[in-house]
Chains A and B, each alone.
Chain A
Amino acid sequence: MGRALLYYELHSRWNRLRARLQRLRQPKYLFGALAGGLYFYWYVFGMLARRSMPGAAPPMPGPEHQALLKSLGALVLLVVLLLMWIVPHARAALIFTEAEVAFLFPAPVERRTLINFKLLKSQSAIFLSALFMTLIGRWSGGNYLFRAVGWWGVLSIVNLHLLGSSFARTLLLDRGISNWRRRLLVLGGLGLVATGVFLWLRQSLPAPPDFSSEQSEAKALAAFTGYVGQILAARPLPWLLAPFRLAVAPLFAADAKQFCLALGPVLGLIALHYLWVIRSNVAFEEASVELSRKFAERVAAVRSGNWQARKPKKGKRPPFELRPAGWPAVAIFWKNLISAGQFFTGRAWFYLIWITVIAGAVLRSGEEPAGRGAILMILAVSLGVISIIYGPQILRHDFRQDLRVADILKMYPIAGWQVVLGEILAPAAILAGAQWLLLLLAFLVCPAPVNHASVTVALRIAIALSAALVLPCVDFIALLLPNAAALIFPAWVQLGKDTPRGFETMGQQLILMFGQIIVLMLALLPAALAGGAAGFIAWFLFGKVVAAAVVPGALAAALVLAAEAAVGVHLLGKAFEHFDWSEGSPE
Chain B
Amino acid sequence: MEIPPPAPSPAAPPSLIETAGLTKLYGDFPAVSDLSFSVRAGEVIGLVGPNGAGKTTTLRCLSGIIPPTRGSVRICGHTIEREPIEAKRNLAFFPDEPRLFDYLTVAQHLTFTARIYNVANYREIARGLLEELEIADKADKLPGELSRGMKQKLAIACGFLHSPRAIFFDEPLTGLDPLGIRRMKDSIVKRAAAGAAILISSHLLHLLEEICSHVLILKDGRKIIDGTMDEVRRNFSEVSAGANLEEIFFRATGENKGP
Contacts and interface: CB of A to CB of B under 8 A. Distances in A.
Interface string B24-63: 0011010100000000000000000000100011001001
A325 interface: yes
A328 B105 contact: no
Contacts of A338: 103-104, 108
Nearest to B61: A582
A328 B26 contact: no
B105 A410 contact: no
A406 to B, nearest CB: 8
Contacts of B57: 582, 586-587
Interface of A: 311-316, 318, 322-326, 328, 330-331, 334-335, 338-339, 405-408, 410-415, 577-578, 580-587
A312 B26 contact: no
B141 to A, nearest CB: 7
Contacts of A315: 104-105, 108, 140-142
Given A414-B85, A584-B26, A586-B26, A405 B101 contact: yes
A411 B102 CA distance: 18
Interface in B171-190: none
Given A312-B103, A325-B115, A335-B112, 5 more contacts: A315-B142, A324-B121, A326-B115, A335-B101, A581-B66
Instruction: Find the residue from B86, B116, B141 having the highest chain A CB count within 10 A.
Output: B116
A338 B143 CA distance: 14
Interface string B149-171: 00000000000000000000000
Given A325-B118, A413-B117, A578 B101 contact: no
Interface residues of B, number: 44
A580 B67 contact: yes
B13 interface: no
Interface of B: 26-27, 29, 31, 52, 56-57, 60, 63-67, 84-89, 91, 93, 95, 99, 101-105, 108, 111-112, 114-122, 140-142, 144
Given A413-B84, A586-B57, A407 B65 contact: yes
A415 B91 CA distance: 16
A405 B158 CA distance: 15
A411 B101 contact: no
A74 to B, nearest CB: 44
Nearest to B140: A315
A322 B111 CA distance: 7
B112 A407 contact: no
Given A312-B142, A580-B67, A584-B27, A331 B116 contact: yes
B144 A312 contact: yes
5 contacts: A313-B142, A313-B144, A322-B115, A411-B88, A584-B26
Given A311-B144, A315-B140, A338-B108, A410 B115 contact: no
A407 B99 contact: yes
Nearest to A397: B103
Contacts of B115: 322-326, 328, 330-331, 334
Contact of A577 (B27, B84, B111, B118): B84
A311 B112 CA distance: 19
B108 A407 contact: no
A323 B114 CA distance: 8
Given A312-B144, A324-B122, A577-B84, A411 B112 contact: no
A315 B112 CA distance: 14
A412 B103 contact: no
B211 to A, nearest CB: 23
A331 B95 CA distance: 22
A313 B142 CA distance: 8
B99 A413 contact: no
Contacts of B84: 413, 577
Nearest to B93: A411
Contacts of B116: 328, 331, 412-414
Contacts of B26: 582-586
A18 B172 CA distance: 38
A324 B99 contact: no
A412 B162 CA distance: 11
A582 B60 CA distance: 10
B216 to A, nearest CB: 18
B29 A322 contact: no
Contacts of A316: 103
Contact of B114 (A324, A413, A414): A324
Nearest to B168: A411
Contacts of A331: 112, 115-116
B88 A582 contact: no
A310 to B, nearest CB: 10
A550 B59 CA distance: 56
Nearest to B83: A413
Interface centre among A322, A326, A339, A587 (most CB of B within 10 A): A587
A386 B64 CA distance: 40
Nearest to A407: B65
A345 to B, nearest CB: 14
B120 A413 contact: no
A410 B65 contact: yes
Given A323-B115, A324-B114, A331-B112, A312 B67 contact: no
Nearest to B105: A315
A318 B142 contact: no
A338 B115 CA distance: 15
A7 B152 CA distance: 40
Contact of B66 (A328, A330, A335, A410): A410
Nearest to A405: B99
Given A338-B103, A413-B88, A407 B118 contact: no
Contacts of A405: 99, 101
Contacts of A580: 66-67
Contact of A339 (B63, B101, B117): B101
Contacts of B144: 311-313
A339 B103 contact: yes
B106 to A, nearest CB: 9
Contact of A311 (B86, B102, B120, B141): B102
Contacts of A334: 112, 115
A325 B118 CA distance: 5
Contacts of A586: 26, 29, 31, 52, 57
Nearest to B111: A322
A314 B103 contact: no
B180 to A, nearest CB: 22
A582 B66 contact: yes
A395 B210 CA distance: 49
A160 to B, nearest CB: 35
The residue among B60, B86, B121, B141 with the most chain A CB atoms within 10 A of its own CB is: B60
A413 B85 CA distance: 4
B220 to A, nearest CB: 12
Contacts of B104: 315, 335, 338-339
B92 to A, nearest CB: 8
A325 B121 CA distance: 10
